[in-house]
A and B are shown apart, each in its own frame.
Chain A
Amino acid sequence: MDLSFLVVQFLSGLASASSLFIISSGLTIVFGVTRIVNFAHGSLYMLGAYFAATLIPRLLDLSYGAPSFWAGVILSALAVGVLGVVMEVLLLRRIYRAPELFQLLATFGVVLVVQDVVLQAFGPQDILGPRAPGLRAPVEIMGRRFPSYELVLIAAGPVVLGLLWLLLHKTRFGVLVRAATQDREMVGALGVNQALLFTGTLFLGAFLAGLGGALQIPKAPATARMDLDIIAETFVVTVIGGMGSIPGAFLASLLIGQLQAFGILIFPKITLVLVFLLMALVLVVRPYGLLGRPEAPAGAHAAAFGTPLRPWSSTEKGIALVVLAALLALPLLGDVYLIKVATEILIFGLFAFSLHFLIGTGGLVSFGHAAYFGLGAYGAALALKHFGVPMELALPLAPIAAALGATLFGFFIVRLSGIYLAMLTLAAAQILYAVAFQWVEVTGGDNGLVGVWPAPWASTRLVYYYFTLAFAAAAVLGLRHVIYAPFGYTLRAARDSELRADAVGIDVRRHRWLAFILAGAVAGLAGGLYVFLKGSIDPSALSIPVSVDALTMLLLGGLQTVMGPLVGAAVLHSLKDQIMPLTELWRMMLGLSIIAMVLLFPKGLVGAFEAARERFAGGGR
C-alpha cells in the first residue's frame, strides 16, 4: 500500500463526503427550521437523479457541451425544489405540531408514494446517466488514474457550503432561516409569516437533495432503491453533526467519507459498522452531535396522556375468549391459504405488539424495530443452517439473539430521546441490514438463507398454525401482564414524567434499557416463527419498510390501546394480502393511507372506537 494509493483513496473519500454533505445539508436545514425530520428527503434525492438521468441526455441532444450538462443538473434540482414546495403545502404544514412519530410516518408515506410514482414514470430499469462533457477522461494523480468528475464533486461540497453561507448570512431569507432555527415563535411574534418561510425552506432543502441526486448521475445509475439507501446515511450525518447544524453536517460528512474510504481497506465487509460505531461514540460523548445543541424538551409525545389502565371488563374478557376460540376453530374452515395468512397475522401481530410495548408503555419511539425481528429470524436460521441445531432449539435462540442485539444497541439508544432516539434506532436497523446484505459467506447476502424448515412434526400448515398461535398468545398475554405489573407501571411513569420518576427513585435509563431488551426478545420470537413459516430469510426482513409496517399497524390500532396493535396487524395484513395482488400501486395506496391516517385519524381504529364508546356512555367518570 503506497502513498499514491492512500492519496487516491483520500480523494475518493472527499468526493463521497461532498455528495453526502450536499444532501445532508438540505435535511438539516429543513429540520432546523421546521423541526421535522423529512424521511422523504431520500426520495427527493432519488427524483433528482431520475430527472437528471432523463433530462440531461435530451439537453445534450440539443447542444453537445458542458453548459447543457450543468443546466440539466440545475434544472433537475429546481424541479425537485418545486416538489418540496408541493410537499410542504399539501402535507408538512398540517403536521408541524404533531408528535414526531406521526411526522416521520407521514413523510414515510411520501416515500412509498414516490417509489410507485418513479416506477410508473421511469420504469423498473436502472437508468444510466450521461457522463459530464469534458470530464470523461480520468486524470493521473501520482501515477494513478482518478476520475476527473470526482474532482469536480470534491470541489462541489465546499462550493455549496460557501454558497449556503452566503445565502444564510447575506440575504434576508437566510437571516430569517437562521433566526427561526433558534426561536420560531419569536420570529412569528416579529411579524414574519412562518408559512412562507417554511415553504421557502422546503424549497431550499429539496433543491439540495435534488442537486445531490443529479450530481450523482455520472457516477452511478438512478435506481429505485437509492432513496432508502441514502436516507440512513443522511440521518447518520445529521445526527453526528448535530441536527440543524450545517457546519456540523460538513464535518460529519468528511469524517464519514474518510471512514468509508479507508474502512473498506481494513474491514471491507463492515464499513457501515464502523460508521455506526462512530455515531454511537459521538452520541455517548455529545448526545446532540458534534456541533448540535440541546433540544428544548419535545412537544407532544405520541402516547402521552393516556388514560389509566383498567382490567378487562367481563365483556372484554368475553371478546378475548371469543377471538381465541375463533382462532382455535379457524382451521375447521379447511382453507389452507387462510391458515397461512392467519399464521402471518399472528406473527406480525406479535411483532407489532412488542413495538407497541416499547412505544406505548416505554415511550421509546423506535423506527428500526425490524432489526430485532430480523435478528431473531437470522439467529434461528443460522443456528439451523450452520450448526445443524434442530428447530426445537433454534427457535428459542431467536429471542436470545434479538435480546443480545437489543442489549448492545439499547445501551446507546436509551441515552437519547425524541428524534435522536428514533434516528439511532433506524440507523441501527440499517447497519444490521447492511451486514446481512454484505456478509455473503454467513448470511447468504441478497439471496438470504433458504431451506429453514420446521421439524417434521410441525411442518404441516395446520400444526404450524397452532404452534404459532400457542407462542403468540402466550407472548402477548405475558407482555400484557408485564404492562400491568410494576415494571410496566415504572416504564409509564418514566414516560409521563422523567423528572418525577427520577425524583421517586427510578433509574429511568436502566428500566428503558430492560424494556428495549424485552421488546427486542419478543420481536425476535416473532422473527423466529416467521423464518420457519417461510422456510427462508433475506435482508428485507430487517429493512425500513418492515419497521414502518409495524408502526402502521400501531397507528391503525391506536397507540393508547393495549390490544390495538393486534387489530392493526390483522387489518393491515389482510389488506395487503387482498389488495397487493390486484394492483401495482400497492405502495402508493399504503403511503396515502398512512398519510390520511396521520391527518384524519391519529388515534387509530380502536382508539376511535373507544372514544365513540365513551361518548356513547355519557359524561360519567
Chain B
Amino acid sequence: MTLLAVRGLCKTFGGVVAARDVSFEVALGELLALIGPNGAGKTTTFNMVGGQLAPDAGAVVLHSQEITDLAPREKFRRGIGRTFQIAQTFLSMTVAENVQMALISCAGETRAMASDARRLHREEALEILAPVGMAHAADRPCSTLAYGDVKRVELAIALASRPKLLLMDEPTAGMAPRERAALMELAASIARERRIGVLFTEHDMSAVFAHADRILVLVRGEIVAAGSPDEVRANPRVKEVYLGETGVAAAERARRAPP
C-alpha cells in the first residue's frame, strides 16, 4: 500500500536546477534509498519531502493527503519522523529527556507550565530507547555521548511519535566504521518490524545495497533510474553515470541475503 507519493517535484536555486520532475512512491514497511553523486539533488529532494524547503512545483502526498507546503512541525504531526546528516539532538538534556521532549510535543503539552517535564512520559521514553540500545544511558547528558550514540538517540527521537514515514539523511555519515553497519541494521530492522516506510540517502553503497528494497538514482536533479537493487545494479545507464564498473562490483558484494 502506498504510504508516500511524491509527484513532479521541481526546485531551482538561482538558475541552477536542483530537482527536476522528481516522482516516486514509498510503500508501508519499504526502504527506499536515494543515491547519486554530490550535488545531484538528494538533500534538496529530501528537504522538500520533510518540509524544510518549499518546492517550486509538484506535490507530496502522505496517505492520500497532500502535505506539500506544510512546515516540518506539521509534517511531524502527520507521521513523518526525520534524522539529519549532522545529528540534531537537544544537547543540554539527558538521553531520556530528548525522547521525553518529543513525546511532550506529541501530546501537545509544550505550553504546560505546572507539571514537571522530567517526570512526563519517562516510562514510554525508556521503552523507545530500549530497541536502539540506549535505555541504559537514559540519564546521561546527551553532550557526553559518543557520536554513534548521539545518532541512536536521534533515531529514538524520530521514532517517538510512532511515525509512518522515516526520513534519514545520510544516517551513517560521520560515524566510526564499526558503528555504521550496526546503525543501518538497527534502523532497517525497526522499520520492517513496525511497517514504517523509510526514505534514506546514503553514500555508503554497501549500506544501500544491503538494506534498500528499492533504489532511486538521482543525477543533476533528475531520476535516471529506479528499481530493485538488482535492477539498478544491472542498469547500464547507472553504471555509466554513477556506479562505474567498480561500483557495480561493490553492489554485487553487498547483495542482501534473501529474507
Contact = CB atoms under 8 A, between A and B. Distances in A.
Interface string B89-103: 111111001001110
Given A504-B101, A505-B161, A511-B111, A488 B143 contact: no
A499 interface: yes
A511 B88 contact: no
Contacts of B58: none
Contact of A503 (B50, B100, B109): B50
A356 interface: no
A156 interface: no
A304 interface: yes
A135 to B, nearest CB: 49
Contacts of B72: 502-503
B144 A621 contact: yes
Given A487-B110, A502-B73, A306 B102 contact: no
A388 interface: no
A612 interface: no
Contacts of A503: 50, 72-73, 76, 81-82, 84, 88, 158
A500 B89 contact: yes
A150 B94 CA distance: 63
A507 to B, nearest CB: 6
Contacts of A506: 73, 105, 110
Given A308-B141, A502-B72, A490 B89 contact: no
Given A307-B141, A506-B73, A511-B110, A489 B104 contact: yes
Contacts of B110: 486-487, 490, 506, 511
B105 A504 contact: yes
A499 B84 contact: yes
A485 B115 contact: yes
A305 B111 CA distance: 23
Contact of A489 (B50, B93, B106, B144): B93
Contacts of B35: none
A298 B94 CA distance: 24
Interface string B139-160: 0110110000000001001101
A135 B77 CA distance: 69
Contact of A492 (B89, B90, B114, B120): B90
B113 A487 contact: yes
A484 interface: yes
A504 B92 contact: no
Contacts of A481: 113-114
Contacts of A507: 73
A201 B160 CA distance: 51
A9 to B, nearest CB: 42
A485 B112 contact: yes
Contacts of A382: none
A187 interface: no
Contacts of A493: 90, 93, 101
B107 to A, nearest CB: 9
Size category, B interface: 35 or more
Given A486-B109, A490-B110, A511-B111, A504 B102 contact: yes
Contact of A308 (B92, B112, B154, B161): B92
B71 interface: yes
Contacts of B105: 490, 504-506
A446 interface: no
B135 interface: no
Nearest to B108: A505
B73 A307 contact: no
A460 interface: no
B73 A485 contact: no
Nearest to A499: B88
A493 B158 CA distance: 14
A485 B116 contact: yes
Size category, A interface: 20 to 34
A575 to B, nearest CB: 31
A488 B117 contact: yes
A507 B70 CA distance: 12
A505 B73 contact: yes
B72 to A, nearest CB: 5
A497 interface: yes
A492 B71 contact: no
B125 to A, nearest CB: 12
B92 to A, nearest CB: 4
Interface string B210-253: 00000000000000000000000000000000000000000000
Contacts of B194: none
B64 to A, nearest CB: 21
B97 A308 contact: yes
Contacts of A186: none
A610 interface: no
Contacts of A500: 84, 88-90, 154, 157
A82 interface: no
Nearest to A492: B92
B192 interface: no
A199 B116 CA distance: 51
Nearest to B143: A305
A500 B113 CA distance: 22
A245 B94 CA distance: 42
Contacts of B92: 304-308, 492, 495-496
B113 A504 contact: no
Contacts of B106: 504-505
A514 interface: yes
A577 B97 CA distance: 43
Contacts of A482: 113
Contacts of A514: 111
Q: Which of B73, B112, B113, B116 has the most CB of A within 10 A?
A: B113
Contacts of A305: 91-92, 143
Contacts of B143: 305, 307
Nearest to A511: B110
B232 to A, nearest CB: 29
B182 to A, nearest CB: 23
B36 to A, nearest CB: 23
A302 to B, nearest CB: 13
A308 B120 contact: no
A497 B117 contact: no
Q: Which of A489, A497, A499 has the most CB of B within 10 A?
A: A489
Interface in A485-541: 485-490, 492-493, 495-497, 499-507, 511, 514
28 contacts: A304-B92, A307-B92, A307-B141, A308-B92, A308-B93, A309-B118, A311-B118, A484-B117, A486-B113, A489-B100, A489-B101, A490-B101, A490-B110, A490-B111, A492-B90, A493-B90, A496-B90, A496-B91, A497-B91, A499-B52, A500-B84, A500-B154, A503-B82, A504-B76, A504-B102, A504-B161, A506-B105, A621-B140
Interface of A: 304-309, 311, 481-482, 484-490, 492-493, 495-497, 499-507, 511, 514, 621
Given A486-B115, A493-B101, A502-B71, 18 more contacts: A308-B93, A485-B113, A485-B114, A486-B120, A487-B112, A488-B113, A490-B111, A492-B92, A493-B93, A497-B88, A500-B88, A502-B73, A503-B50, A503-B72, A504-B105, A505-B161, A507-B73, A621-B140
